[in-house]
Each structure stands twice: as structure tokens, then as C-alpha cells.
Amino acid sequence: MDRRRLRWAFIGLTPPYTESRARWPLPLRDMGSIPVLRLVPRHLLHGAARGCPPFCACLSSSSSSSSSSSSSSSSSSPPPPTSDSPTHTATDGVHVIDERVAYHNFATVYQRTVRYPDDRQVTFDILGQPAVGCASVLVFPFCTRTQRCHAIREYCPGLNSYLYGFPAGMTEAKHRSFLDAARAELSEEAHLISERWIELTAACRTWNADAWRAEKDRSASGDGASSSSMAVSGLPADKYSKNVCKMFMALDPQADPSPGALDAEESIQRIGPVSLEQLRQWMREGLLTMPHMLLAMYSLDYLRRHSMLSESA
């Protein structure tokens, strides 16, 4: 496959987990941006790859003034990043020697040129969503008593089809933390609330730290800063993406008496509680997008490790 083609490639990690009972704001180390799983411009694939967002309270002023992730494709697109300069950092001997914006709308495509240790220079198309800090959240609602999860069915423009999944979306400036963003998505898309939250990606590596520090330095010096990414722990969305995802599990959810409103362009059906066997069948048939499959795998692994699944489940 051509190296420039945007592909989904998820890394199968099995990190430890931590549990919290609705404690926020999150620690400073988690207040960065977490590249989102929704990897393509909204008008191409808004719902097909929705994933995990960052702590938007840490977004720079240029980011907060741009359109939020809830804006539809018909509204004005966010302003492009203010800087095309690369962050000249090296990873295992690979140096970024140039980076510039090739396309910008809800998502941004960067052309990044790197130099390998053997002096080869190659250019890649890199996807990101700088207006929201390259971050998103996914939520797995699960009832420990009934051993059922609460699913949704959402229209995915990229496939022109409805697929099953779970509440998910980008962080926005109104969110005070990743957990706050997860709460909002659970309310808006599933009409549920929960007091018991588990962050499934708490022990994941922190990404974009060098780029985030460089951007903050440029901003402090008055040189301008691109809000292309923020330091955040989570799962890399794709090998050709700056986006990072955070995943949560909401245990024993209850009906939300005052649910939030969906984004104008979203079309979501609330399926309600489904058995884990039904979920596994959807996964075998490929009726969920990859981010949501990964969320289900992480959640089931956590439940199994902590003896929270019944034998029949």
C-alpha cells in the first residue's frame, strides 16, 4: 500500500488500569490533547471513526477561538494552524526536517519530511485535528448487575451506512477535563449518566510531549504557536496521524433526566442494553468501527481481569 494512503492501524496494547469515582479535573499530566480516532474531515467520515479527545482546558487561545468539534461541515471551518515550522525533534534517530499544512478544514493534512538514520529523506501525509488538540474520548457503558452494555447505532458517512458503537467524540473548549468530555458524550448520545468511571488508557504512554513543549515555548516568546497537538497519555489513532485517544468505562449507568443535545450533523439511534454475546457477534461481523472494537476489547479485558464478568457472560 502506498505510504501516503491514510490507513487505520491500531496497536494492540494491554496496559494496567486505574479506577476513579468521578474525580476531576484530571492531573496536569492528563490535561494535554489526545489525538482523536475520528481521523478524517467531518464531511467524509464524521461518525465512522469517533474516538478519544484531550483535556480542552489546556487548548491554546488560538484553539479555543476556532470552531468546536460539534460544528457541522456546513459551518465555517476553523482557522488553519498559525505556523508551518516543524518541531525539530528526533525519535530513535529520525529527524523531522520539514512540515507544512497541505489541507485544512475540520481535519488537517500535514506534509512531513523526515530523515532516517541512513540519511534517506521521505515525505508523509500526516492527519490531525488541531482545532481540538488532536484528541477524543470513547465511553463503554456497562451494567455490572445485568452484565449488559449500552450500545448506539450511528450513521457513518465514510461508508454511507449505520454501524453499532458507543458514545464517543472530540473534546471541546467547554469541557474541563477528559472525564468531563466523556460524561458529555454519554449524556448526549446514550442519554445516560454514571458515578463510577474507569479510565482504561490511564497507564498509556504520553504522546506529543516534545511538540507540545515547543509550541508552548513559541507562544510564550510571542512567535505564535500551532495548536496542532498537546501532550497526553492515550492510544495512537493511526501510524499516519497525530491523533491520540482516551478510553473510559462508565459502570452501572442510569437514565439522564436532562440529556445533552446531539451535534447538528449527527444521526444516532439509542439501542440500549445488549448482551455481551450480541456485542461479540457484531464484532465478528465487522459491524463496529475499529476504535469501538478496540474500546470493547479493552473493556472486556478489564472486566475479566477484575472478575466482574459472570460465567454466562
Largest separation between any pair of C-alpha atoms in the chain:
61
Structural domains in the chain, sorted by start:
18-76+130-305 (3.90.79.10)
Q: Is the pLDDT of residue 292 over 80?
A: yes
Give the integer Cα–Cα distance in Å for 138 and 181: 9
User: 122: which 3 cell numbers?
Assistant: 521521505
Question: Which of 32-46, 113-127, 147-161, 206-220 comes out lowest in average pLDDT?
Answer: 32-46
Give the integer Cα–Cα distance in Å for 195 and 9: 33
Task: Tell me which residue of 162, 166, 131 sits closest to 53, measured CA to CA.
Answer: 131
Strand 94-104 with 108-115, pairing: antiparallel
pTM of the model: 0.67
Give the integer Cα–Cα distance in Å for 216 and 230: 9
Q: What is the pLDDT of residue 72?
A: 38
Number of Cβ within 10 Å of residue 209's Cβ equals 17
- Type of residue numbered 292: H
Give the integer Cα–Cα distance in Å for 180 and 185: 9
At residue 130 the predicted structure's pLDDT band, cuts being 50, 70 and 90, is confident
Give the integer Cα–Cα distance in Å for 121 and 119: 6
At residue 128 the predicted structure's pLDDT band, cuts being 50, 70 and 90, is confident
Question: Please, what is the average pLDDT of the chain?
Answer: 74
Give the integer Cα–Cα distance in Å for 273 and 19: 23
- Type of residue numbered 277: E
User: 190: which 3 cell numbers?
Assistant: 446514550
At a CB cut-off of 8 Å and minimum separation 6, what does 126 contact?
99, 109, 110, 111, 112, 240, 241, 242
Q: What is the pLDDT of residue 230?
A: 61
Q: Is the pLDDT of residue 289 over 60?
A: yes
Q: What is the pLDDT of residue 285?
A: 97
Q: What is the pLDDT of residue 209?
A: 56
Task: Give tens-digit pLDDT for 204-251.
Answer: 888 865 554 444 454 454 443 344 456 678 898 889 998 889 999 999
Q: What is the pLDDT of residue 9?
A: 35
Task: Give tens-digit pLDDT for 148-197.
Answer: 999 999 999 999 999 999 999 988 888 888 999 999 999 999 999 999 99
User: 264: which 3 cell numbers?
Assistant: 447538528
